[in-house]
Every structure is written in structure tokens, then in C-alpha cells.
Amino acid sequence: MGRKLTPRQAVARSYPGWDYAMADRLIAWLDDCSYAIVEKDAGHKEASLVPEDSEAKASPRFERAH
């Protein structure tokens, strides 16, 4: 099983030298813009754009044009 990174570590590793100061600024900016970092397995009941299971099954599938 792989190691689990904190959100701060995951953001910092995308910058040269694991820049924690830049990661902290980015996370603070996202928080200021009303975004939140959540666990991957967490359910998002309030996400209105995500169809329910019954809606997903009822919607037609796209077909390839070619």
C-alpha cells in the first residue's frame, strides 16, 4: 500500500524542492475562494451537478459519430 500524503504535502510536491510556503499560500487562496480539499473516498451529497445513480442509468449514452 502506498504512503498517504497530507493535502499540504501533495500540493508542495508539485513545486521544485517541495515548496511548503507556496503550498500554504495556494491552500489559503483556495479556502478564500470557498474551495475545500476533501478525501478521495468522501461522498459529496451536495454536489448538484453529479447525477444520482437512477439519473445516470436513465440518461442516454453518447454514440461515436465515426
- Run means of pLDDT, 10 residues per run, the chain, 66 residues: 84 92 94 84 60 57 58
**pLDDT at residue 29, as a whole number:** 94
Distance CA 3, CA 28 (A): 24
33: cell is: 475562494
pLDDT of residue 37: 82
- Residue 51: CB partners within 8 Å, gap ≥ 6? 59
With vertex at residue 14, the alpha carbon angle to CA 37 and CA 12, rounded to the nearest 5 degrees, is 60
Q: Is 56 helix (H, G, I), strand (E, B) or coil?
A: helix
What's the confidence (pLDDT) of residue 47? 60
Tell me if 53 sits within 8 A of 45, measured CB to CB. Answer: no
Q: Which amino acid is at 12?
A: A
Note the pTM of the prediction, 2 decimals. 0.55
